Amino acid sequence: MSFDKDLEIVQAVRNLCAKAKEAHLELKEFSQKEIDNIVAAMAEAGFQAAERLAQLAVQETGYGNVPDKIKKNQFCTRDLYNSIRKLRTVGIIREDRSNSILEIAEPFGVVAAIIPTTNPTSTTMFKSIISLKARNGVVISPHPRAVKCIIESAKVVHDAAISAGAPEGIIGVISDPTLQATHELMKSKDTNIILATGGSELVRAAYSAGKPAYGVGPGNVPVYIDRSANYKKAAADVVAGKSFDYGTLCSSEQALIVDEPIKDRVIEELKNQGAYFLKPDEIRMLEKVLLTPDFRVNPEMVGKSPQVLAQKAGFSVSHDIRVLVAELAGVGKAYPLSAEKLSPTFVFYVVNGVEEGIRRAQEILDFGGRGHTAAIHAKKDRVIRQYGLAIPAFRVVVNSPASIGAVGYTNKLMPSMTLGCGTFGGNITSDNISAHHLMNIKRVAYETKPLAAPRNGTTWRPAERSDAPYRKALSSDVSRKGNSQKATNESSTKISSSQPGKVYGATGMTESEVEQVIEEFIKQC
């Protein structure tokens, strides 16, 4: 690459960041209702384009399958919107009356959003929606193997946001995503936070950029089936979870740990669900094509069907096979398939009891995947709690497919395509990342314990007071454009456009009125 080309790429990224910063400064003054209208429009546009974007993603990357990518796109638009619809991100978002503390939302600024190739369209829309919900600008760095579908996904939500009143430039996309361009984005003076989804090297680069960063860790998900489980449902869930989008979710099942008393029944049911148990020589053949000698996932085999994987390895399976299963005796480098595999392949172990199951699951997570996800199938709550307490994973999915359970598709976890692994996985949070992770919280704290009594020697006593001014200033459920505390898209009070002075936060009052009310309240304290 020429020196001139390098300079051109750097300048293009700087321009995107500067535009996003300028747009963010405008967006941060919007009311809650205006923000929510923008986010609703983005989610609906992405939902309507779900099938088209899924087709683009599969055509460009060769990863996964269209039906499941449609589900991901729908999940990261409408389902995501429903999970954050009532989240307040403008002005005073909470008052703690018992402790006399106000909480005020402040956006971060510009989000650098790094997008992976495994879930390109869904992650693009997800990160754009949560960024704008928190009143941030966003600049997207696409994976080089998924540039076209990521650019198109960003265009869908960007155009919807602009139509709903968002400022131009609020969502930017790097059109030539080189390594240099991504580094420039992460280090830009206009970038305020990095939201990195990708391989461990990318996450390390994000952490080294000198900016706050949310990263993720690798997944190597163990699934324990206890003797008390509904083994038929468990087998169906495991196969459904592992075959979903051909295993491209990092939360997909990687190792099945089965309690010995139900082993034969589970194996039979797995076969009924479309599982193919590999012969010893087929295991060795598959190892060579799925993983590199240094235990990295072969990118050419990611998200491929069982039939393609078998063909590349040198054997064949019938068209109705949904997953490949390798029975192993141990975990570690002597057993390459015990590592993470972003494909419809998992390994199989037999144990005797929950204690042994826990030890095996811990081994698997220690080999790669600490802090990410684990799953259990059991009817006994005592067993579920014992497993949950012992496992070094921050999402323990119960009686559900791990792959889509961890992201919040089949349960009440926060819908997310960025799953923190906590300090176990080298991350700052163990949460499912969402909009509330992309805003600062300012706290206004009123005195509750005076430092000293008055000098005249009299005993200090708090004066009796009415908290009416406090309620008036802090509890109003209207914003500058008519925000409702009960439903963000409704307005219970309209603020007159002739009212003088700057409208303050979510109170619907002018700045001078708020200052007067607070001053009166402080006097009564």
Measured at the CA of 109, the angle between CA 190 and CA 169, to 5 degrees, comes to 75
User: With DSSP H G I counted as helix, E B as strand and the rest as coil, what are the percentages for the chain, rounded to 5?
Assistant: 45, 15, 40
Express each pLDDT in 298-353 by its tens digit.
999 999 999 999 999 999 999 999 999 999 999 999 999 999 999 999 999 999 99
**Phi and psi angles of residue 144, each rounded to the nearest 5 degrees, phi first:** -55, -25
> DSSP assignment of 153-214, as one string?
HHHHHHHHHHHTTPPTTSEEE-SS--HHHHHHHHH-TT--EEEE-S-HHHHHHHHTSSS-EE
Token reading at 243: 């075959």
Q: Does domain 221-413 have CATH number 3.50.50.60?
A: no
Which residues carry out catalysis?
A: 250
How do strand 393-398 and strand 92-96 relate by DSSP bridges? Answer: unpaired
Cα–Cα distance for residue pair 298/331, rounded to 1 Å:
19
Report the SS3 class of residue 408: coil
CA distances from 274 to 237, 240, 263, 269, 271 (A): 12, 10, 17, 9, 5
Domain spans, the chain: 3-215+434-438, 221-413, 450-524
Provide the mean pLDDT of the chain: 89
Express each pLDDT in 189-218 by its tens digit.
999 999 988 777 777 788 888 899 998 888
Report the amino acid identity of residue 138: V
Check residue 179 and give its pLDDT.
87
Could you tell me which residues are beta bridge partners of residue 327?
A: 348
Check residue 516 and give its pLDDT.
67
Check residue 203 and give its pLDDT.
78
Check residue 317 and give its pLDDT.
97
Cα–Cα distance for residue pair 141/116, rounded to 1 Å:
9
Which CATH architecture describes the domain 3-215+434-438? 3-Layer(aba) Sandwich (3.40)
Residue ranges, the chain, pLDDT below 50 = 460, 462-502, 504-507, 525
Check residue 128 and give its pLDDT.
98
Cα–Cα distance for residue pair 291/249, rounded to 1 Å:
17
CA distances from 223 to 257, 391, 402, 424 (A): 6, 11, 8, 19
Check residue 217 and give its pLDDT.
84
CA distances from 348 to 239, 297, 408, 471 (A): 12, 19, 25, 60
Q: For residues 241 and 322, is the Cβ–Cβ distance under 8 A?
A: no
Check residue 458 and give its pLDDT.
56
Nearest partner of 325 among 229, 258, 249, 391, judged by Cα: 258
Q: What is the CA radius of gyration of the chain?
A: 26
Express each pLDDT in 498-525 by its tens digit.
344 445 444 455 666 656 665 665 555 4
Rounded to two decimals, the pTM is: 0.84
